[in-house]
Amino acid sequence: MNIGLIGYGKMGKAIEEIALTRGHHITAIVNRSNPIQKVDWSTVDVAIEFTQPDLAVQHMEICMKNHTPIVVGTTAWQKDLPKVNQLVSDLGGSLLHASNFSVGVNIFFEINRKLAEIMNKHSEYKVSMEEIHHVQKLDAPSGTAVSLATDIIESHQHYTEWQLANENIGDHSISINALREPNVPGTHEVRYDSEIDTIRIEHIAHNRTGFALGAVLAAEFLFGKKGVFTMKDVLN
């Protein structure tokens, strides 16, 4: 399969390494020295996009118009998801997006949803979250943290929203403490605290390999398909 990389930072290079070991070819690289407008999309079977929130939708639009399936790992653009979904439908395109491509994190999502269902019956526990990422990460909280919080809200009737920890946290809000430290690929913790004990689940990424492998698996899944998909579709 011929893969185009939109974004060639640390994640792009990690994806390239995994893709090559799985027998794929990198036929296009988009970065500051090679803008997306110069890409020959006829050489690309699937694009994988890891850039910035303010660029992601534009990149999706270009891929849709060139009939190139695209896997999107950038987060914090989802307010435009209805617009993107309509574009995919209108142009018969292919899109797979996720807040996190790591297989381990997606297992963590499942555990988080199940725990929230159980804790819905135990109002004496107050939920909070913490996420830690490298200092280059632009969005805070992370897309993964937002997904975790959203899943809790859907499963736990007490909570209606999430807020950053430095804000005035309401009784029905999930507090998310977002920290940025050097050389941290990603750590996410969900805690339930009561006066007598604490229940805690945590996922710690040791490197970017899990994210990169998941992105390549997503590209393999998306190739030849039409529509909008997520990592749930890949793992199922």
Domain ranges, ordered by start, for the chain? 2-99+209-235, 103-205
Q: Domain 103-205 adopts which CATH fold?
A: Dihydrodipicolinate Reductase; domain 2 (3.30.360)
Query: Is the pLDDT reported for residue 174 higher than 80?
Result: yes
Query: Is the pLDDT reported for residue 91 higher than 80?
Result: yes
Q: Which residue has the tokens 């019956």?
A: 121
1-33 in b/e burial notation, b at 16+ Cβ within 10 A? bbbbbbbbeebbebbbebbeeeebebbbbbeee
The pLDDT of residue 139:
85
Mean pLDDT of the residues in the chain: 95
Q: Is 226 a catalytic residue?
A: no
Q: Among positive and negative, which fits the CA dihedral 33, 63, 74, 212?
A: negative
The superfamily CATH assigns to domain 2-99+209-235 is: NAD(P)-binding Rossmann-like Domain (3.40.50.720)
- pTM: predicted TM-score of the whole model, two decimal places: 0.84
Query: Is the pLDDT reported for residue 138 higher than 80?
Result: no
Q: Among positive and negative, which fits the CA dihedral 141, 145, 149, 151?
A: positive
Question: Each residue of 149-160: pLDDT tens digit?
Answer: 999 999 999 999
Query: Is the pLDDT reported for residue 76 higher than 90?
Result: no
Helices 209-222 and 103-119 meet at what angle, rounded to 10? 100
CA atoms within 13 Å, Cβ hemisphere of 112: 27
Active-site residue, from 59, 133, 156, 188: 133
Query: Is the pLDDT reported for residue 168 higher than 90?
Result: no
Active-site residue, from 10, 134, 137, 158: 137
Give the rounded distance of the alpha carbon of 229 from its chain centre.
13
pLDDT mean over 123-130 = 97
pLDDT mean over 85-94 = 97
pLDDT mean over 125-129 = 97
Q: Is 122 a catalytic residue?
A: no
| 134 CB-near residues (< 8 Å, 6+ apart) | 180, 181, 182, 183, 184, 185
Identical fold at 2-99+209-235 and 103-205? no
